[in-house]
Chains A and B, each alone.
Chain A
C-alpha cells in the first residue's frame, strides 16, 4: 500500500471507531440536536410573537429564525468534538496509537469526518421540528443541496477549530467549557434578529463576524432572500477557520507528549 492508501485506511479505521462511539453513546449527539430544537421552540412560541411583530408575525419569524437556529446547531454540534478529542488524549489509548506504525493524522481526520457526519445527521431533526412548527421553504432540490453543502463546510471548519481546543484542554471539563464562546457567537449575529436592529458597536460586530454571512447565505438558499456576497464570504470564512484549526491542531498533536 502507498502512503496515501495507508492514510485513507487508517482514517477509515479511526472514523469507524468514532462512529461506533457516537452510536453507543448517543447522548452527546442527541444533546447537540436537542439544544437548537429547544431554542427554536422557545423563540417561536415564547419570543416569536413579540420579536416577529416587526417582521409580519410569528409565522414570518419562523422563516427568519430557522436558518439561524440550524447554523447555530451546526456550530454547537461541531464543538462537541473537542470533548471527544480531549477524552482520547487524556486516556492511555492515544499513547498506544502514537507507538503504532499508523498515519499520525488519521487520529485527527477520523475525529473530524466522524464529527461532520454526526453534525449533519443532527440537522435532520432540527429541520424536521422547524417544518413541524410551520417553517416553509420555497427551495428546490438544488438549493437544499447547496444548503447541505454550506452546512457541511461550516461543520468541517468549526470541527477543526474544536479539535485544536480539545488538544489544548488538560481535562474534559475544560474541553467542554471552551466551545461555549463559539456556541454563543450566533446570538451576536443575525440568527435571531437582524444585525441592523442592534446597538451601533454590537451591530458592527454582528455584521462582520463569521456566522452572520453564513446565516444570511442559508437564509437566502432556503427563504429566497438576497445572498449577494455573503456566499463567498461564508466560504472564505470556512476555509480560513478550517485552515487555522487544522494547522493549529497538527502542530499541537505533533509536539511532544507531556502527559
Chain B
C-alpha cells in the first residue's frame, strides 16, 4: 500500500499499532473433516490483510469464526480488543462483514436496506438518514436508491452490501471474497473502495482466491491451504521465497552442459533435459552478466528463457495445486 497515506487507528495511539485481529491456534472441524488446523494471525490496526487460498482451504470458516458466526473448536482470538468467545457482542459492535454472497434484503429498496442497518445499529433517525444518503452517494447507487435490491446487477449488489456493512463505521471489516463473480470493472471499483477504507484507518481482513487482488490490496498476505497457513508475508517477501526468478539455459550437448554447470555452480541441474536453472533477480543487468559469463567461458547454449515469478507461482508452489513450472510443492518454514 502507498505509504503516503498514514493510517490513523481510531481508538489508539502509540508507536506500534496494536493488533486489530489476533488469533492463536484456531481449530475447527465438521464431523471428521478438519477445516482449520491451528491458525495463528496478527493483523495490525489500519492495515489490509489478505487470506489467500484455493476453494475449500478454510478461508470462509476463518472469517465465520472471527466474525462470531461460528464457534471455534479450539484456540483463541481477539478482534478489536474483544475475545470472540467471551465477548462476542463487543466483537459484533466493532466489525462489519461482507460475505461471499450479498447479504441484503431483496424485497427492500437500497435506501431501506441502509436504513434497516441504521435502525439495527440504533442510530437516531436523523443520523441514520444522513449516513444513508452519504453512503448511497459514495457507492454510486443514489440514482437507484428507491429501487428494490432484487433488481440490481451483481456489481451493484456488492456495492450495496458493502455500503450496508459501513453504516456502523466499523473498526474492522471482513470481506469474504468480495470480488468473486464480478466483472473486471466492478472488481476495480471494489478495490478502490477498499483502499479508501484503509486510508480512513479501517482494518480490512480480506479473503480471496485471486492473487492479483491480494497483490493489489494487501499489506500482508497469508497463504491458507488445507486448514493451515503455509506462508505469510508481504507480496514481495512471498515472491522472493520461491526460486521463481531465474534464467533457464538449455543445451543439446552434454559436454557443453557440464561446462556451463561449472560456470554456474549454484545453478539447479536438470540432467534429463540438459537444462540449468540460474537464479537471478530478473533484472537486465543480471541477465547481461549471465550472458557475459557464458561468453567468457565459451559455452554455447541452445536456448534460454527468462522466468519472472508472480504470486501465481507462490500460490501454486505453496498450495500444491496443479503443475507450476517450479515442480514439486515447496515447503517453506513460516517466519514472522
User: Can you name the residue of chain A whose Cβ is closest to the Cβ of B167?
Assistant: A100
Across the interface, do A10 and B103 meet the contact criterion of CB distance under 8 Å?
Answer: no
Whether B120 sits at the interface, judged by CB under 8 Å, is: yes
Q: Out of B64, B103, B112, name the residue touching A92 (CB < 8 Å).
A: B103
Across the interface, do A25 and B120 meet the contact criterion of CB distance under 8 Å?
Answer: no
Whether A170 sits at the interface, judged by CB under 8 Å, is: no
Q: Which chain B positions have C-beta within 8 A of A100?
A: 92, 117, 120-121, 168
Across the interface, do A99 and B106 meet the contact criterion of CB distance under 8 Å?
Answer: no
User: Can you name the residue of chain B whose Cβ is closest to the Cβ of A1?
Assistant: B122
Tally of chain A residues near chain B (CB < 8 A): 26
Q: Which chain A positions have C-beta within 8 A of B70?
A: 256-257
User: Can you name the residue of chain B whose Cβ is closest to the Cβ of A96?
Assistant: B103
Q: Out of A6, A9, A96, name the residue touching B164 (CB < 8 Å).
A: A96
Across the interface, do B92 and A99 meet the contact criterion of CB distance under 8 Å?
Answer: yes
Q: Which chain A positions have C-beta within 8 A of B120?
A: 10, 13, 97, 100, 102
Across the interface, do A92 and B107 meet the contact criterion of CB distance under 8 Å?
Answer: no
- List B residues 248-287 near A (Cβ within 8 Å): none
Q: What CA separation (Å) do A96 and B116 show in the bound complex?
A: 12
Known: A20-B112, A256-B71. A93 touches B104 (CB 8 A): yes
Tally of chain B residues near chain A (CB < 8 A): 32
Least CB distance, A26 to chain B, in whole angstroms:
12
Known: A101-B92, A101-B93, A256-B70. A17 touches B99 (CB 8 A): no
Least CB distance, A239 to chain B, in whole angstroms:
31
Across the interface, do B93 and A17 meet the contact criterion of CB distance under 8 Å?
Answer: no
User: Can you name the residue of chain B whose Cβ is closest to the Cβ of A20?
Assistant: B108
Least CB distance, A66 to chain B, in whole angstroms:
34
Known: A92-B99, A93-B103. A99 touches B67 (CB 8 A): yes
Q: Which residues of A approach B to under 8 Å, CB–CB?
A: 1, 6, 9-10, 13, 16-17, 20-21, 24-25, 91-102, 256-258
Q: Which residues of B approach A to under 8 Å, CB–CB?
A: 30, 64, 67-71, 89-90, 92-93, 95, 97, 99, 101-108, 112, 116-117, 119-122, 164-165, 168
User: Mind listing 29 A-B residue pairs with CB under 8 Å?
Assistant: A6-B122, A9-B122, A17-B108, A20-B107, A20-B112, A24-B107, A25-B107, A91-B105, A91-B106, A92-B101, A92-B102, A92-B103, A93-B103, A94-B103, A95-B97, A95-B103, A96-B99, A98-B69, A99-B97, A100-B121, A100-B168, A101-B89, A101-B93, A102-B120, A256-B70, A256-B71, A257-B69, A257-B70, A258-B30
The 3 closest A-B pairs by CB, nearest first: A92-B103, A96-B103, A101-B92
